[in-house]
């Protein structure tokens, strides 16, 4: 499995995953950069490539991501249930979905020249029976 | 089609021309919360006729969203919409509006 973890006292785990270069580039871009960890060092990259991490080396790269332990546990459970082949696949799918969503939100915001007023968003969410929008911290 | 929101002509035009911040908020919420947006094809045709040249990008954005589904008015729904108009006693009424009603009743959604 293309995974290494080291649980720390705040219940986060470091996960090494292989992602396609396109996803890496998008993740490393401005859109999601604050939410993801650093790129692993060349030494670690070579080490893990030797272990077997990059079985499809021409189409994937190595990324180090810190995840809350409970999320990692759920990803592993999905692998056990056979829903995905590996935790790396699970993470890649999650990143792909997030990028699709963020790109759509960006397109809408650009079309309107900015986000809608908060009170209008709140009204829409209330009418849809959704909880109030989370504000950025 | 289950759940979601149905866009009528005014919602399509309002979003496409970037004049309706309510439509913008609705679409952004739909994207964030994975809520489906149904666009009845008859309403789409009507809206496309009303949208001025230069606003095609807005239509492309709406139709390209991951949560947008265009509801085709093919054989079965076309007959159902016709019956709906007949039952309303207004066979000459706007087909686009009737298609929106048909989609909303199928989706249990709100236009």
Domain range summary for chain A, segments of one domain joined by +? 12-127
pLDDT digits (tens, 9 = 90+) for B26-60: 999 999 999 999 999 999 999 999 998 888 999 99
Instruction: Give the mean model confidence (pLDDT) for residues A62-67.
Output: 82
Report phi then psi at B88, rounded to 5.
-75, -5
Instruction: Output the six-digit token pair for A14.
Output: 């470091």
Own/partner pairs for A34-37, CB < 8 Å, 24+ apart?
Answer: A36/A63, A36/A65, A37/A63, A37/A64, A37/A65, A37/A66
Between the alpha carbon of residue B64 and those of residues A107, B41, B105, the distances in Å are 10, 15, 24
Instruction: Output the six-digit token pair for B12.
Output: 């399509």
Task: Say how many domains are in chain B.
Answer: 1
Instruction: Give the mean model confidence (pLDDT) for residues A38-60.
Output: 42
Mutate to test the interface with B, among A100, A107, A127, A129 (most CBs of B within 10 A): A107
What is the gyration radius of the CA atoms in chain A, in angstroms? 18
CB spacing of A120 vs B25 below 8 angstroms: yes
Residue B55, min C-alpha distance to chain A (Å)? 10
Own/partner pairs for A113-117, CB < 8 Å, 24+ apart?
Answer: A113/B18, A115/B24, A115/B28, A116/B21, A116/B22, A116/B24, A116/B25, A116/B28, A117/B21, A117/B25
Nearest to A128 among B27, B29, B58 (CB): B29
Which range of residues forms the domain containing residue B32?
Answer: 5-107
User: Which chain B residues are within 8 Å of A104, Cβ to Cβ?
Assistant: 31, 64-67
User: Which chain A residues are within 8 Å of B35, Cβ to Cβ?
Assistant: 128
Is the pLDDT assigned to residue A102 strictly greater than 70?
Answer: yes
B59 in contact with A at a CB cutoff of 8 Å?
Answer: no
User: Which chain A residues are within 8 Å of B26, Cβ to Cβ?
Assistant: 124
Instruction: Output the six-digit token pair for A2.
Output: 């293309």
CB spacing of A120 vs B58 below 8 angstroms: no
Size of interface A-B (CB pairs under 8 A): 59
Residue A56 pLDDT level (bands cut at 50, 70, 90): very low
Lowest mean pLDDT of A29-33, B15-19, B47-51, name the range: A29-33
Task: State the pLDDT at residue A54.
Answer: 39
CATH number at residue B47: 3.40.50
């Amino acid at each position: 499995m293309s995974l290494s973890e080291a649980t720390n006292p705040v219940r986060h785990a470091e996960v090494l995953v292989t992602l396609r270069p396109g996803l890496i580039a998008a993740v490393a871009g401005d859109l999601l950069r604050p939410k993801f960890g650093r790129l692993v060092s060349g030494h670690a990259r070579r080490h893990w490539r030797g272990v077997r991490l990059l079985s499809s080396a021409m189409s994937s790269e190595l990324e180090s991501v810190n995840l809350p332990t409970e999320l990692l546990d759920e990803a592993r459970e999905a692998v056990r249930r056979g829903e995905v082949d590996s935790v790396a696949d699970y993470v890649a799918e999650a990143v792909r979905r997030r990028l699709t969503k963020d790109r759509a939100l960006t397109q809408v915001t650009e079309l309107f020249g900015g986000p809608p007023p908060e009170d209008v968003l709140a009204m829409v969410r209330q009418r849809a029976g959704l909880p109030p929008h989370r504000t950025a911290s | 089609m289950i759940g979601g929101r149905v866009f009528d002509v005014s919602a399509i035009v309002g979003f496409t021309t970037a004049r309706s911040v309510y439509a913008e908020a609705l679409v952004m919420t739909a994207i964030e919360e994975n809520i489906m947006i149904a666009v009845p094809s008859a309403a789409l045709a009507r809206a496309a006729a009303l949208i001025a040249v230069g606003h095609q990008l807005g239509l492309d954005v709406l139709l390209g969203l991951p949560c947008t589904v265009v509801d085709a008015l093919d054989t079965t729904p076309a007959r159902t919409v016709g019956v709906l108009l007949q039952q309303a006693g207004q066979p000459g009424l706007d087909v686009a509006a009737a298609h929106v009603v048909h989609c909303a009743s199928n989706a249990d959604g709100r236009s």
